[in-house]
Amino acid sequence: MTKFEKTTALSRRAVLIGGGALVVSIGAPIGADTVFNIGAAHAQGARPPLTPDQLSSYIAVNADGTVNAYFGKMDMGHGLHVAIGQIVAEELDVPFKAVTVFMADTDKTVNQGGASGSTGIQLGGKQMRYAAAEARRVLIEMASSALSVPADQLKVSDGVVTVKNDASKSISYAKLIGGRYFNVELAWNKQFGNDLYAPGKAQPKPASEHKIVGQPIKRADVAPKVFAQEDFVTDVKRPGMVHGRMIRPPVAGAVPVKVDDNSIKDIPGAKVVWDKGFLGVVADKEWDAIKAAEKLKIEWSNANPPFPDQAALYDHIRKAPVRKRVVEKENGSVDEAFKSAAKVIEAEYEWPFQSHASMGPACAVVEIMTDGQVLCWSGSQKTHFVQEGVALTLGIPVEKVTVYWKMGPGSYGRNDADDCAGDAAMLAKAVGKPVRLQYMRDQGTGWDPKGPASIHKVRAGLDASGNVVAYDFLSKAFSRVDVNTNGSKPWDTLTGQTLGVALKSGDGFGVPAESYAFDNKRLAWETIPPLLDRASPLRSSHLRDPVGPQIHFASESFIDEVAAAHGADPIEFRLRHIKEPRDVAVIKAAAQAANWETRPSPRKGQTGNKVSGRGIAYAQRNGTRVAIVAEVDIDRASGKIWARKFTVAHDCGQIINPDGLTKCIEGNIVQGVSRTLWEEVKFDNKSVTSVDWMTYPILDITETPAEVNVVLINHPEIASSGAGEPSIRPVAAAIANAIFDATGVRIRRVPFSPDHVKAALS
C-alpha cells in the first residue's frame, strides 16, 4: 500500500537491512562483473552515503519487490505523498501500491527543502521522477546482463523485466536488486533545498505513456486518521519523558529578572529552566507542567511597550523609514508617462498581520541520548533545517541530530513548529530527560511568526481614450523574512532570540504576478523595520502564499477599479490587456463555468438590504495560473458577507492527481475566504491580544461557501507547477470585486468583517 510511512523508530538502515542490505555498484557500462561484485561490496560494509548525488538516497527496491521512495519534502495535508508515489510508480513501471513514500526524516531523506513554496511536485516530484527513471534504466541494464539480451529488447511491467518477443524470459526487480542498495551516482547540481536537482542518465517517460500519473488515486492515510490510528507529533511518547511549557512575557521585549522557584515547589517534579529571556517549566505530568507555568511567580524587566496603537498600524507603515526598496519589474518610462496622462486613478489598500493559528499550538519531543545523539520529533515543514537549528542551539555538530517528521497540528508556512523544536531541545538539555513540549493556545496564536501587514499604493495613468498608458504598483510592508522561513539559525527562532542571539532581520516582499501588457509599468516593494528588534510576537515571516494574498488583493482590486472607471466589463477589460495564452485560458474558463454575464460593475437595479454581486480576479504563481469568480451575498444592515460560490479555473501544467488537486484548491479557497472576511491579529501597545479563537476568529462552517466549482485545465505536455498556494492568491480580490459589484462600494482594507463592511457601506 502506498502511504507515507510513519514508523519513526524504524531507521532507514533497519528498513533495508530487513532485506539484507547490500550495495549494487552500477557504473556504465553494466556488466556481469558488477553483479558478481555485489557480495564483495557488502562484505566491506560499504553503503552509499545519504547524499544527494546517490540514487539510493531516493529509491530502493526491497527484497519483496516493493519500492521505497525517500522524499525530502513532506505532505502537510494535501495528499502530496500520493502524487509522489504515482510519479515514482509510473517511472519505474511498478504498481502504485508497491511504492511507500518515506517523507522528511533526516536519517532517511536528503534536504529537498521541506514543504516550501508549492514545490512539492514542481521541484520535489521532478527530482523523484528523474531518480525513478534512472533506477528503471539501471535495472533494465542489469536485466540485460542477467538475461543476456540487449536492453532495447526488454520491457517492464509491474516490476518484472521481460524480453519483448519471448515472454518466457523474464526477471523481476526483486531478483535483480531486492534488498540491496543502488550504487549509482547522479549528476547533482550541488544545491540543497528546493533547488536540489540530481538527474541520472535516463530521461523520464513522455506524458503520452503515463498510466498512473493523472489518475484520481485516493489517499490511504484518511482511514487511519478517522479511526484514531494515526499518531501526530503530539502523540510521541518516549521512556522517562517529562512535559514542558514555555512562559512568554506580558510585555513583548521584557525578560525575567526574578523567578521564584518556591512558588511551584508543591507541584510534583516541577522545575524551572531559565536562561536570560528563555523561561520554561517541566514536570512529570502534562497537567502539572501547565499548572506550574500558570503558578510560577516571575518579576519581569520594565520594557517599554513596543507597539503602536492598532488603529495607527497603517499610518505607522506609511511613515516608517524604508529599509530596502526593490523595483522587480519596470518597462517603459513610467514617471514620464504619468506626466502626460490625461487622467490618473489611484488607490491604496491595506492588509493586517495574520496568524497561522494552526489547529493546535506547536509540539516537539526531544531526547538527548547518553552518547550525545539528539533525537527530535517535529511537525515542522522543514525538518532538515530544524536539524541544523537544534544543533546550533545545543552547540553540537549537525550530524548528531536526527529530526523525525510527524504530522503536526496544521501548518501553512513558518509557524511555531521550528521555535518549539528549539525550545524543547533546550528544556531536554537542561533537565537531562526526554521532553515533550507543547505550546498553549495563546502562544500558538499570539506568538507564532505572523504574515506581514502591508499597504499597497497603485496608480494608473489613462490617455484620452481611456487606455492605460502608465501603471505603478508599490507595496510598503513589514518583511516576509523578518525571521527566516525556517528555523535553521538561532537568530530566526524564539529559542535563539530569548537566549540573547541578536535578530538578523531580512528584507523581502514581492510584486504582482500577472501579464498585463501596459507600456509603462513598474512593480516595486519597500520593507520597513520590525516593531521590535528581539523576540517579538509580531515578527513576520511566511504564511501561506507568502505576501501573495495581500499583493493580489490590491492589484486585482485595482484593475477592477480601472475597469469600472471605464465602464468596462471586468473580464473584457482584463482580456484587453492580457495576451499570455494560458492566462487568457484560465480567465475564459472561469467566466464560462460561472456563466459570467458581460456588463460593467456595479450591478444595477438591486434594492433592499440583501444584495448580491460577482467578481473576478486572476493571478500567476511560479508557472501556475488561477482565475476565480466569486459570487457573494451581502446583508447591508448587518455588514455580513456570505461568499456563496466560487468558480476556480486552475492551470498548473501536468496534473498528477486530479482529485487531490481539487481538494487542495478547495482548502485554499476556504482558508482564503477566512483570511479575507475575518482574520486580523489584534494587539495593544504591550503585546498581541489575539490569543484564541474568540480573539482571532476564523471562518465558521455556517459561513462556508455553498459551492466551490473547480475547473482543472490539464497540460500533460507542460511540466507541473505548484498548487499548494496559487489559488488562495486571488480570493480576497475576487470577493472585494464582488462586493463592489453588489454595492458600488470599494472596500480596500482586509478583513471584511461585519463591522468593517457595515462602516464602509454607511
Partner 1 sequence: MTQKFALTVNGTTHTIEADPDMPLLYALRDELGLNNPHFGCGLAQCGACTVHLDGQATRSCATPLSAVGNAKITTLAGLGTPEKPHPLQTAYIEEQVPQCGYCINGWIMTAADLLAHKKNPSEAEIEDALSGIKCRCGTHISILKAVKRAAAMMG
Helices (H), 542-692: 548-566, 570-577, 581-593, 658-677
Q: Which is nearer to partner 1, 318 or 663 (CB)?
A: 663
Residue 414 in contact with partner 1, rule: CB under 8 A: no
Give least dist CB 23 to partner 1, A: 38
Q: Which is nearer to partner 1, 52 or 705 (CB)?
A: 705
> x/- site string to partner 1, residues 353 to 392, per CB under 8 A?
----xxxxx-------------------------------
Regarding 9 and contact with partner 1 (CB under 8 A), the answer is no
Q: Which of 352, 409, 496, 751 binds partner 1 (CB under 8 A)?
A: 409
Rule CB under 8 A: choose which of 164, 225, 297, 343 binds partner 1: 225
CA 567 – CA 626 distance, rounded (Å): 25
Q: Is 76 in the site for partner 1 (CB under 8 A)?
A: yes
How far apart CA 358 and CA 110 sit, in angstroms, is 27
CB 372 within 8 A of CB 454: no
Question: Is 302 among the residues that bind partner 1 (CB under 8 A)?
Answer: no
- Please list the helix, strand and coil fractions of the chain in percent, rounded to the nearest 5, in that order: 30, 25, 45
Judged by beta carbon, residue 178 or residue 451, the one nearer partner 1 is 451
Please choose, from the candidates 633, 705, 626, the residue with its C-alpha nearest in 3D space to the C-alpha of residue 670: 705
Q: Does 555 bind partner 1 (CB under 8 A)?
A: no
Neighbouring C-beta atoms of residue 50, cutoff 10 Å:
15
- Contact between 671 and partner 1 by CB under 8 A: the answer reads yes
- Give the count of residues interacting with partner 1 (CB under 8 A): 61
Does residue 185 interact with partner 1 by CB under 8 A?
Answer: no
Closest separation between CB of residue 593 and partner 1, Å? 17
Distances (CA, A) of 417 to 60, 354, 624, 692: 30, 17, 28, 17
Nearer CB in complex with partner 1: 294/299:
294
Among 704, 712, 713, 714, the residue binding partner 1 under the rule CB under 8 A is 704
Residue with cell 522557584: 261
Report the b/e string of 352-380 with b at 16+ CB within 10 A: bbbbbbbebbbbbbbbbeeeeebbbbbbb
Work out whether 178 is an interface residue with partner 1 (CB under 8 A): no
Query: Binding to partner 1 by residue 269, rule CB under 8 A?
Result: no
Residues 65 and 119: their CA atoms lie apart, in Å, by 29
Establish if 588 lies at the interface with partner 1 (CB under 8 A): no
* Span interacting with partner 1, options 14-22, 70-78, 185-193, 304-312, rule CB under 8 A: 70-78
Q: Least separation, in Å, of the C-beta of 547 and partner 1? A: 19
* Amino acid identity, position 153: Q
Q: Other CB atoms closer than 10 Å to residue 319's CB: what's the count?
A: 11
Q: Does 674 bind partner 1 (CB under 8 A)?
A: yes
Applying the rule CB under 8 A, the residues between 417 and 476 that interact with partner 1 are 438, 440-441
Q: Is the dihedral of CA 28, 30, 33, 37 positive or negative?
A: positive
Cβ proximity to partner 1, 464 vs 701, nearer residue: 701
Q: Which three cell numbers stand for residue 308?
A: 503602536
Using CB under 8 A, pick the residue from 5, 53, 231, 633 that binds partner 1: 231
Q: Which of 167, 226, 311, 464 binds partner 1 (CB under 8 A)?
A: 226
Q: Is 670 in the site for partner 1 (CB under 8 A)?
A: yes
Q: Which residue, 78 or 108, is less far from partner 1 as judged by CB?
A: 78
Contact indicator for 104, 74 with CB cutoff of 8 Å: yes
Task: List all residues 6 or more positions away from 222 whose beta carbon is below 8 Å from its beta carbon.
Answer: none
Among 26-34, 53-61, 520-528, 703-711, the segment contacting partner 1 (CB under 8 A): 703-711
For partner 1, which residue of 234, 454, 536, 550 counts as binding (CB under 8 A)? 234
> Cell triple for residue 109?
531523506
Gap between the Cα atoms of 84 and 90, Å rounded = 10
Calpha distance 73→54 (Å, rounded):
17
- Interaction of residue 705 with partner 1, rule CB under 8 A: yes
**Which is nearest to 619 in space by CA: 648, 659, 642?**
648
Q: Is 77 one of the binding residues for partner 1 (CB under 8 A)?
A: yes
Spatial CB neighbours of 418, under 8 Å, sequence gap ≥ 6: 378, 380, 382, 385, 386, 389, 486, 487, 492, 493
Is position 237 an interface residue for partner 1 (rule: CB under 8 A)? yes
**Binding flag, residue 242, partner 1 (CB under 8 A):** no
Is residue 32 a contact residue for partner 1 (CB under 8 A)?
no
Place of cell 523525525: 404
Smallest distance from the beta carbon of 150 to partner 1, in angstroms?
45
What does the binding site for partner 1 look like in residue numbers (CB under 8 A)? 76-79, 218-219, 221-223, 225-232, 234-235, 237, 285-287, 290, 357-361, 407-412, 438, 440-441, 659, 663, 666-674, 692-694, 698-702, 704-705, 707-708
